[in-house]
Amino acid sequence: MCAKRTSEQGSAKVFVIILLAVLSIGAYAGIQLFPLYWDHWNFEKTAETQMVATLASAKQNIEATVKQQVVQLLDNMGAQYQPEHVRATLSSDQKSMQVEVWYARPHHLPLYPNPKQFYVKLEHALLLPKLNLPQPTPLPQTE
């Protein structure tokens, strides 16, 4: 009976070692990939906010402005991208916009596609019509 008990304890130690190894690999993978997905989520939200703000304002060259802002976000994030993979398309009535971005981020996780590819497609349509308010006439100068 004593021999049986020691063999059971040995198998429990092997199980604990295997469990710790699996948990360690999972923690390492999480540490390597979590920042990539966190940055992707932040990039998506920031790009959407900038797209909406630019579309709501009555600026000229809205597509170029949004594309420039998205490229700046990608550069700040350290992403790898091709300039032709950043697209900003404004509808003909200038009430909706679509932004598509393909980019990659390098990581140090073996056996996982490196660099990790990401894709973002953002769409927004104005709910309220743009108002073309008349410019106030200047007041006459008094002498």
Span 109-118, pLDDT tens digits: 888 888 899 9
Give the count of domains, the chain.
1
> 56 lies in a domain?
yes
* Residue 28, SS3 per DSSP: helix
> 136 lies in a domain?
no
- Find the domain containing 82 and state its range: 10-125
Tell me the pLDDT tens digit for each residue of 51-75.
Answer: 888 887 767 788 899 999 999 999 9
> 135 lies in a domain?
no
> 31 lies in a domain?
yes
Residues 6+ apart with CB under 8 A from 70: 47, 50, 86, 88, 99, 101
Assign residue 15 the CATH number of its domain: 3.10.450
> 37 lies in a domain?
yes
CA gap 57, 63 in Å, rounded: 12
> 91 lies in a domain?
yes
Other Cβ atoms less than 10 A from the Cβ of 36: the count is 19
> 142 lies in a domain?
no
Q: Spell out the per-residue pLDDT of the chain, length 143, in tens.
A: 455 555 555 677 888 999 999 999 999 988 988 999 999 999 999 999 988 888 877 677 888 999 999 999 999 999 999 999 999 998 887 778 899 999 999 988 888 888 899 999 999 887 766 566 677 888 888 87
Q: Are 97 and 123 in contact (CB under 8 A)?
A: yes
